[in-house]
Amino acid sequence: MTAVEPARPMVAKRRMTRKQRRLVLIGAAGGVLCLAAGLVLFALRDTIVFFYGPTEIAEKGVAPGTRMRLGGLVEEGSVARGPGQRVAFTITDSRTAMKVTYEGLLPDLFREGQGVVTEGVFQGGNQFRADTVLAKHDENYMPREVADTLKKQGHWQPGEAGASAPQAKPAPQASP
């Protein structure tokens, strides 16, 4: 490719004044910002997911088919595996229980009696179909929403989550 040295501005452009240049700049920046604001508002309406505890679903009258996050404790003795990759378990806040079905591999720290957060679609009644079970990095960690949910139901004893750690709060940190 031979670069054609383009002739100096063929049409002698009218030099913009300072004011005009500033206007172009501010206009362009404002345009981009407006576009982004529009995108953000649009996305905030459509893409966010609410978090509920089992009792809240009934209280707030969540419509079946709603996509949401459900959190609570995995009820002791409720995990049933199979066939194949299917898992069924119950999430409870000690007042209300939701039956959850999930297909896929569970995170390492998924255990009965532990806090869990799942994301999926509310099926109505006490049925929930999860497509994501969130992993946590620390065995003592209680998701904050789950802790709040349990507190609300009056079943939270501070220190319960960290009971296995005798020392003051080991706080492993993955990132700053």
Partner 1 sequence: MIVEIGHFALALALGVAVVQSLVPLWGVARHDRALASVGSAAAITCFLLVSVSFTALVISYVRSDFSVENVVANSHSAQPLIYKLTSVWGNHEGSMLLWVLILTLFGALVALSRRSLPLRLRAGTLAVQGMVTVAFLAFTLLTSNPFRRMIPAPAEGQDLNPILQDLGLAIHPPLLYVGYVGFSITYAFAVAALIDGRIDAVWARAVRPWTLLAWVFLTLGIAMGSYWAYYELGWGGWWFWDPVENASLMPWLAGTALIHSTVVMEKRDALKVWTILLAILTFSLSLLGTFIVRSGVLTSVHSFATDPARGLFILMILVFFVGGSLALFAWRAPLLRQGGLFAPVSREGALVVNNVFIATACATVFIGTLYPLVLEMVTGDKISVGPPFFNATFIPVLVPLLLVLPLGQSLAWKRGDLLGAAQRNFAAFGLGILVALATIAMTWGGPVLAPLGIGLGVFLVAGAFFDLGERIVTRASGWSAVLSRAKGLPRSAWGTALAHAGVGLSVIGIAAVAWSTEGIGVLKPGERLTSGRYTVVLESILPRKGPNFTAEVARFQVFSGNRELAPMEAAKRIYTARAMPTTEAGIRTDGLSQAYVALGEPQGDGAIAVRLYDKPLILLIWIGAIVMSLGGALSLTDRRFRLGAPRRSAPAQSAAVQPAE
- At its nearest, how many Å lie between partner 1 and the CB of residue 90? 18
Structure tokens at 69: 């996050």
The least CB distance from residue 67 to partner 1, in Å, is 10
User: Smallest gap, in angstroms, from Cβ of residue 121 to partner 1?
Assistant: 15
Closest CA to 59 of 153, 164, 135: 153
Task: State the minimum distance, in angstroms, from the CB of residue 60 to partner 1.
Answer: 9
**Residues 113 and 73 sit within 8 Å (Cβ to Cβ):** yes
Task: Tell whether residue 50 is a contact of partner 1 (CB under 8 A).
Answer: yes
DSSP class of residue 145?
H
Regarding 48 and contact with partner 1 (CB under 8 A), the answer is yes
- Least gap, CB of 97 to partner 1 (angstroms): 20
Among 124, 144, 151, 160, binds partner 1 (CB under 8 A): 144
- Number of residues written out for the chain: 176
* Region for 75 from its dihedrals, namely left if φ exceeds 0, alpha if ψ lies in -120 to 50, beta otherwise: beta
The three-state (H, E, C) secondary structure of 132-143, written as one string? EECCCCCCCCCC
Q: CB atoms < 10 A from the CB of 40, how many? A: 10
Q: Is 157 in the site for partner 1 (CB under 8 A)?
A: no
For strands 97-103 and 86-92, give the pairing. antiparallel
Q: Does 18 interact with partner 1 (rule: CB under 8 A)?
A: yes
Q: Which residues bind partner 1 (CB under 8 A)?
A: 1-6, 9, 16, 18, 21-22, 24-25, 28-29, 32-33, 35-36, 39-40, 42-44, 46-52, 69, 81-82, 84-85, 104-106, 108-109, 117, 119, 134-141, 143-145, 148, 161-162, 165, 167-176
